[in-house]
Amino acid sequence: MTSRRVLKAAQAIREVVSLAILTELRDPRVDNVTVTTVEVTGDMKQARIHVTVMGEDTNSSQVLKGLSSAAGFLQRKIANRIESRYTPKLQFVLDQGQENAREVARILEDLASEPKTVTQQNEDPADTTPLSET
């Protein structure tokens, strides 16, 4: 179970990093990035920041490199916002949630467009009998 303090710190880190990426980072590699979630360890020494990148897959590796190079700047922003003994070391990872959702949607569309199976085609609605007649 995660403590309330860690959850509040994760939310504050998410807000600070999101705002800094949008308004203060000048790295051309970091573009079209959204911070989805932040996971902070219990001792608050490390934070894993999940990001999504709108665009090509080849672009995502460049975005991660840009974010990693800006990690010190972002840590300083976090240190100004969070009063804690330690400022978490930042690690950026791609969030696979949207890609997984697209894959599930594609599979569901494929299933919906497939022809009915033999058992579904042979069912006759006239063959059904009522459960109980009174």
Is 59 inside any structural domain?
yes
Give the span between the Cα atoms of 27 and 60, in whole angstroms: 14
pLDDT (tens digit per residue) in 93-125: 998 887 788 889 889 988 888 776 655 555 555
User: pLDDT tens across 62-98, in order?
Assistant: 999 999 999 999 999 999 988 888 899 999 999 888 7
pTM: 0.73
Q: Which domain holds residue 16?
A: 4-98
Helix (H/G/I), strand (E/B), else coil: 3: coil
Q: What is the CATH number of the domain that holds 78?
A: 3.30.300.20
Range list of β-strands (E), 4-111: 33-40, 46-53, 89-94
Query: Which of 20, 21, 17 has its CA nearest to residue 29?
Result: 21
Q: Contact 45/87 with Cβ under 8 angstroms?
A: no
**107: in domain:** no
- Asked if the structure places residue 66 within a domain, the reply is yes
Residue range 16-60, pLDDT digits in tens: 999 999 999 999 889 889 999 999 999 999 999 999 988 766 688
Residue 74, domain member (yes or no) = yes
- The total number of structural domains in the chain stands at 1
Residue 54 lies in a domain: yes
